Structure formats: C-alpha cells, structure tokens
Structure 1
Amino acid sequence: MIINKITIKLGLWFFFVMLIIEVCLFFFLHTSMVKSRVEEELIALQARGNNHREVLEDSYNEDTLHHIAVMEWNADTEVIITDREKNIIISSSKLAEEEKEILYKKIESVPRNGKILENRWKSEKYISTVSPYAVNGQQKGYVFMFKSTDQVQGLISRLNHHFLVAAVITVTLLILTILFLTKSITTPLIQMKRATEKLSRGDFSVHLPNMGEDELGDLSRSITILAKDLKHLKEERSEFLSSISHELRTPLTYIKGYSDVARRRDLADEDRERYLGIIYEESEKLSNMIKDLFDLAKIDKNTFVIHQEKVQLCSYLHAICEKMLPAFKEKDMNLEINCNKNIHVLIDPMRFEQIFLNLFDNAIKYSDPYTKTSVFVKREKGDVLIEVRDEGRGIPKEDIPFIFERFYRVDKSRSRDFGGTGLGLSIVKELVEAHQGCIEVKSELGKGSAFFIQIEEMTE
C-alpha cells in the first residue's frame, strides 16, 4: 500500500507536469504549422495568378485567354479574368455565389504583385487572390484566383490526424517512462523507509544495496553506517552495563564479606585490622571508580567544563613529574622529562594534569622495578607532540585497538591485583579530545608502551 501511494503520487505529479508541457508544445507546434500551411497555399495561389498575368501581358488575345481557362479546368484552383470594371471576360468554371461575393468586393488598390482578397479558410468556402494585368502599359483588368477551403481543411484534418497519433504515442511513452522513473526512485526510498522502521524497533540488521553515487546512494550509505553505529552503541551499552555491574559487585562483595568477618567477637585484633584494611582498600577502589564514572558521565552529557588558559608547557610538565616522582621512587622506578623548549599551549591545567596522572599511574602499575618512564616534548608541523614512554610489560597487538574503551583490560585475570578499573585510559582519551587533540599508542609486548598526545601550539 505504501508503494502504491508513493508511486501514484510521484507518477501523477510527473505525468501532469509533463502533460501540460507537452500540450503547450503541441499547441504551439500545431498552430504554427497550420498557419504556415495556409500561408503557403495563399502564396502559391497568388503566384499562380501572377503567372497567368505575365502570360496575358506577353500575348493578350482570345487564344491566350482560352488557354489559361483550359489550364485551370482540371486543376484544384479556379481562374476568372475580368476587365477594369470587373466584367467577366473568361472563367475556368461556373461561378458560385460565394465567389461572386468575393469578386464584386470593392478593391481600392491592388499592387503589381497581387493581393489576397480572402484568407478566412475556417469560415469561408473559398480563399482568393487578385493580380492586375496591363496591355500596352495600360491596366486592362484583373486575374482572380480561387481555391476551395475544403482542400485546405482536408489538409489541416490530415495534419490533425498526424498530431493525434503523435500525441497518443508520446503520452504512452510518457506513461511508461514515468512508471520506470517512479519505480527507480520510490523503490530505494521504500527500502530505506523499511530500514529506518527496523532501526526504530531496535533491529539493527539493516542491509541496503548499493544505490550508486547520487544523493540516494549517499543516503543509503548513511543509513547503513547509522545502523552499524547504533548496533555498536547497543553492544557497547550492554557491555558497559555488564561491566559496571560486575565492577561494582566485586568490591561490594569484598566489603560485605570482610565486614561480616570483622564483626566476629572472637576475632583476633590483628586479623580484624587486616580485614578492615582490605575493606578500606576496596572502598577506595569503589570511590575512585564512581569518581571516574561521574567524570565520564559529565563528558558524555557535554557538562564537563574545560577552562582553558595559556600555559608554559615544559615548566607545567616538570611540576607534574615532581609531584609523581615519589610514587615512582617507592617502586624503584625512574621518571625523566625531556623538555627545555619555550612552548605555550591553551589547556585546562587541572584536567590536563589528570591525563598525565592516569598515564603515570598505568606506567607504575604495569612496569617492573628499576625501569624508566620518560616524557618527550617536540614541535611537529605547528602542533606539539608529547610522548609518554615506559619500559613495562607492553600491550598485545590484538588489544591495542580497544584499550581506550571503557572497562577494557588487557590482563583481565590479574587486573584486580593491579587495582585498575578499566576507565583510566577512556578518561585520558576523552580529556585529550576535549582539548581538540588526539592520542595514539604504540606498544610491543615485553618492551613497553608509548602514548603520543598531539595538541595545537599557541602562537604568541
């Protein structure tokens, strides 16, 4: 039913528009051709009268007059030769009343090349012309030519018949063309409408055929991409809900379990202190996770405000490294920074610090003692490239595309030993992009990882 509605609506619209255009064109063409044919008949009739005049002027006698009358006897035209007072000298046929009316019309002046006396082929029975002739330099009389309008109307009738046949063929071809065009236009539209209906029902298994490189093809590809994105978003949401429920359940289970044990009256003070310590650690993890989730939620809702200001990058990074240096030394690790350039950037100092704290925290968690973490800063094509490189365990090649996803962990079996929530790198990526920058990672298993942050340099 939907197909019929769209096809009929577009088809009728195209049909009536094209029909109006064709009717106007046919009317103009028909009128022009009819007018042209009538003019040709009148010109031919006038030329025939002029030819008779020339013969008369060359040899005016009874034989010539008789010869002219005989010439028109079996022709589709009639000739009447008169004197100056319109007295008939000779006629090729008996005059009809309509011819007499034309013949005795008052003629004021007739030029040498003749004159059209009657051209109303639709309402009159004859069309007529007159040509003056002279003998010995003196006007002798007139040559009147007549032609029945039945012949003209027959010619026009045949012309109308040809136009009618052409109109029928044209309308038939027009209908077939419109049916083909509307089908070729509406079929993709209907397919895309059904695809969007599937999307609205939550069914993202949309497969649209290749519809070319025009606007319909672009729309089809956009719907397919939208379906894939929505499917991915749905899967991400399901995975996110599953992950967050698991991540919240685990520390809560620890807290609840050890709280029940710690409440026992016969428990030794040493064991109670150990259990309370575990409860505190799990509470800290839970608090950090909720803080990270809160930050991500604000970023998703575009309520995560970035207060940018001009910052001298090298001194700023040195201050962050000084703050983190005790944590590295506690694990017998080194932290170095290579930045002595006068580089200014437009950043939110508090939010940008969070990026490096998360990256340094990961370096500490996933690196062994006596390894080194380095920070390099350099200019690159008008931007600033910041590299944070560690000598840790590295990231497997198959995991690299997913490390910025929420709750994604490379080593899921050991993640709780390192205390990660799987949200740190997600927050890093969101914060970098909030500063109109980008972040990439290169890593080799067993040799460490390098994170590259690219932001725009602020010129003076």
Structure 2
Amino acid sequence: MNREKKFLTKDLKMVVLAKIFTTILISTIGFVVLLALLELIYHQFTFYEEDIVYMLAQVVKNYLPCLFVIIWLIDIIYVILFYWKKSWGYTEVMMYASKQLIADDDKLIHLPVELKEVEEQMNQVKMNAVKNARIAKEAEQRKNDLIVYLAHDLKTPLTSVIGYLTLLHDEQQISNELREKYLSISLNKAERLEELINEFFEITRFNLTQLTFEPSSINLTRMLEQISYEFKPMFETKNLNCNLKVDPDIQIKCDVNKMERVFDNLIRNAIHYSFENSTIKITAEKKSNGVYICFSNEGNTIPEEKLNRIFEQFYRLDSSRDTKTGGSGLGLAIAKKIIELHKGTINAYSENERIDFKIFIPTLS
C-alpha cells in the first residue's frame, strides 16, 4: 500500500507538471498567433512616420526578440505561480483521498476532473486492497472452521482406538478372529488419526511467504515415472489405470523437493476425485520455451464457481464439515505458489466429467 501511495504521489506531480507544460505551450502558441495577426492587421493600413502607431510598430519590430523573451518569461512565472497555488488545494484533496484510500469500506474516491487519472488509479488500489482483505478474511475463516472440524473429528478415531484397545486388554479370553478384527479396526482408526494430525501440522506450518527456491537440473521423465509408480497401491484401491505419456529424457531446472510435492498433490487429487474403474492420464511435452504437463482424470465436473476458487488457501471442493472428504485445502494453494516460484503457471479445467490440471514450466537459465 505504501509503495502504491508513492506511485500515486508521483502521478499527481506528473499531472501538475503536465498541466504547467501544456499551459505554457498553449500560451506561447497563442502569443505567436497574436503577433502574426497584429502584423497582418498592421499591413492592411498605411501609416506615416509621424504616426504613433507606426513609431510603436517600429519599436516592437526592433526589440521583438527581447520583448518576446520577456513576455514569455512572465507567462512562465505566472503559470508556475498559478499551479503552485493550485497544488496546495490538490494537497488538501489528496490528504482527504489518502484517508479514504485506507478506510475500511468500498466507497469510491472522488477527485477534481483534472485529477481523473489519479482518481482512477486510487480507486483501483483501494478496490484491490478491499478484495485482498476480503480474500484473507475468508481464508482465515476457512482455516478456523477447518481446525474446529479437525478437532471434532479427532475425537472419533481416538475414542474408537481407546475403546477397542481397552476391550483387548480387559477381555483376555477373546477369540483370535475377534482379536484380529479389533486390531484391524484400531489400525485403520489410528491411520486416520495420523492423517488428521498431519493436516494439523500442515495448517500450523503453512506460510507461503517463507517458501524458498533451490533449483537443480533433473530428469523430469524419470521423476514422473517414479512418482506415478509409488501411487500404484492407491490406484488399485479404486481399480484405476495410470496412463503415463511423457517425452523421453526431459531435462528441466527446478526445485526437486517442491516439484515432487506438486506432482504428489495433483496425483492424490486425481485419485480422490476419479470415478472407479477409470483412467488417470499424465502427459509431459518438451517445447522450445519450456515444458507442458497435464494431469487428467475422469470425475464429476467441477462447477465454474468452485473451479475459480480452487487455488485459494484452505478452500475445499467439498464444503461439508466432514474432513474425510477432503484435506486441509492447502495442497493446491501451495502447488500454485511453487509453480509460480518457477516462473510458471498452473490452471484447472473441468467439463464433460473430466478434470484437467495443466502446468507450464518455462526453461530456466
């Protein structure tokens, strides 16, 4: 905001200087035109040497350069003094406008007509600030809601684990079949508990401004092959097929750990939102300006209003309070930030029961 204020102050100075220059230019042209008209009128009449008009005309003619410079300097001084005095009025207007700029409302700022350009820029700055504040507030609210939901959902698996372990401890004569059943349930609940705790850690350590960039040269083809292979057990749980179509030996410069996190998150999302018995497609194509990567899966079409917010912090496609249906809502926000650290872009598309995440990573020197 402070930097934008400096730009606006600079713009105001430029407006005043532009008006001074324009006024001087117009008055100079006007003076030259006036002299030309006077000379034209003078030559329309016949004067004698003893005529006062003739004598004045000769004086003007003899000292025209000096007179022109004197009048021009007087004109400049007058214009500067006029706008200098007027700028004090601008200062008061701008001070009031500055207060409006930081006011916690969405009221537009109004300036004099001659400051229309500055007015438009100030309103743009204010609207951006209001929008960013609203987005931050909504993200904070989603974060707080999610923490409440996670805290609530932690109780269920924890209570189940304690309950089944208590049964195993107290019932010494329990059958092996029942013991295995209770242990299996306890293990599943403990794993769910671990997922929820990991989401808590993800939220508490989340800070996009602290992401660092440590690039190194890697083989993207092998990275995608390895990561997709590691998800094979998860593919099998929904009977999914992974179709990997990647150009051979794609070499890129990137932050390996962070890029792995992006791909990991996108594949997890694809699995989570895929229809059973469908195919997840991963493609990567090397071009002269960079690499184009696409993660595509068959699933319910995402509505446009949700698609537009999919990269917001703590935003979850499933807005229900059940945390089993989604993560912390940080994965895609972090993925977008990581891709932007690489000077790239990531976009989401969804239509006809298909979801695509398209990434572009430019060639880094």
TM bucket, shorter chain: 0.5 to 0.7
- Larger strand share, 1 or 2: 1
Report the secondary structure of 2:308's partner residue.
helix
Are the aligned partners of 2:346 and 2:357 in contact in 1 as well (CA < 8 Å)? yes
TM-score with structure 2 setting the length: 0.65
1:285 aligns with 2:186: no
Are the aligned partners of 1:394 and 1:448 in contact in 2 as well (CA < 8 Å)? yes
Deviation at 1:274, TM superposition (A): 5.7
- Larger helix share, 1 or 2: 2
Relative contact order, CA 8 A, sep 6+: which one is greater? Answer: 2
- Of all paired residues, the percent bearing the same amino acid is 23
1:402 aligns with 2:309: yes
Report the secondary structure of 1:421's partner residue.
coil
1:355 aligns with 2:256: no
Structure 1 Cα separation of the partners of residues 133 and 182 of structure 2? 50
Report the secondary structure of 1:454's partner residue.
strand
Are the aligned partners of 1:259 and 1:279 in contact in 2 as well (CA < 8 Å)? yes
**Quick one: which amino acid aligns to residue 276 of structure 1?**
S
From the superposition, tell whether residues 290 and 315 of structure 1 become closer, same or farther in structure 2 (CA, over 3 Å). same
Alignment of 1:266-415 (within 5 A): 270=179, 272-273=182-183, 276-293=186-203, 296-297=206-207, 299-300=208-209, 302=210, 304-380=211-287, 382-413=289-320
Are the aligned partners of 2:281 and 2:295 in contact in 1 as well (CA < 8 Å)? yes
Residue correspondences, number: 280
Are the aligned partners of 1:383 and 1:455 in contact in 2 as well (CA < 8 Å)? yes
Moved more, 353-362 or 304-313: 304-313
Deviation per residue, 1:18-48 (Å, 9 max, x gap): xxxxxxxxxxxxxxxxxxxxxxxxxxxxxxx
1:456 aligns with 2:350: no
Deviation per residue, 1:240-282 (Å, 9 max, x gap): 22x3322431332224533564465577765753652354033
**Quick one: which amino acid aligns to residue 150 of structure 2?**
L
Are the aligned partners of 2:111 and 2:119 in contact in 1 as well (CA < 8 Å)? no
TM-score with structure 1 setting the length: 0.53
Are the aligned partners of 1:292 and 1:424 in contact in 2 as well (CA < 8 Å)? no
Report the secondary structure of 2:327's partner residue.
coil
From the superposition, tell whether residues 319 and 256 of structure 1 become closer, same or farther in structure 2 (CA, over 3 Å). closer
Report the secondary structure of 1:387's partner residue.
strand
Deviation at 1:187, TM superposition (A): 4.4
Match of 2:98 in 1: 193
Structure 2 Cα separation of the partners of residues 273 and 230 of structure 1? 49
Structure 2 Cα separation of the partners of residues 369 and 174 of structure 1? 76
Structure 1 Cα separation of the partners of residues 324 and 102 of structure 2? 47
Are the aligned partners of 1:208 and 1:224 in contact in 2 as well (CA < 8 Å)? no
1:240 aligns with 2:143: yes
Deviation at 1:174, TM superposition (A): 10
Are the aligned partners of 2:219 and 2:250 in contact in 1 as well (CA < 8 Å)? yes
Structure 2 Cα separation of the partners of residues 451 and 457 of structure 1? 20
Alignment of 1:434-445 (within 5 A): 434-444=341-351
**Quick one: which amino acid aligns to residue 345 of structure 1?**
I
Match of 2:9 in 1: none
Report the secondary structure of 1:376's partner residue.
strand
Deviation per residue, 1:161-218 (Å, 9 max, x gap): xxxxxxxxx99x99997765533x13431322322553xxxx3445313664545653
Structure 1 Cα separation of the partners of residues 183 and 249 of structure 2? 52
Structure 2 Cα separation of the partners of residues 453 and 349 of structure 1? 16
Deviation at 1:356, TM superposition (A): 1.2
The RMSD of aligned alpha carbons is 3.4
Deviation at 1:380, TM superposition (A): 4.7
Are the aligned partners of 1:409 and 1:415 in contact in 2 as well (CA < 8 Å)? no
Q: Which runs of 5+ in 1 are unaligned?
A: 1-169
Are the aligned partners of 2:275 and 2:299 in contact in 1 as well (CA < 8 Å)? yes
**Quick one: which amino acid aligns to residue 134 of structure 2?**
K
Deviation at 1:337, TM superposition (A): 1.4
From the superposition, tell whether residues 176 and 377 of structure 1 become closer, same or farther in structure 2 (CA, over 3 Å). closer
Alignment of 1:52-131 (within 5 A): none
Are the aligned partners of 1:439 and 1:453 in contact in 2 as well (CA < 8 Å)? yes
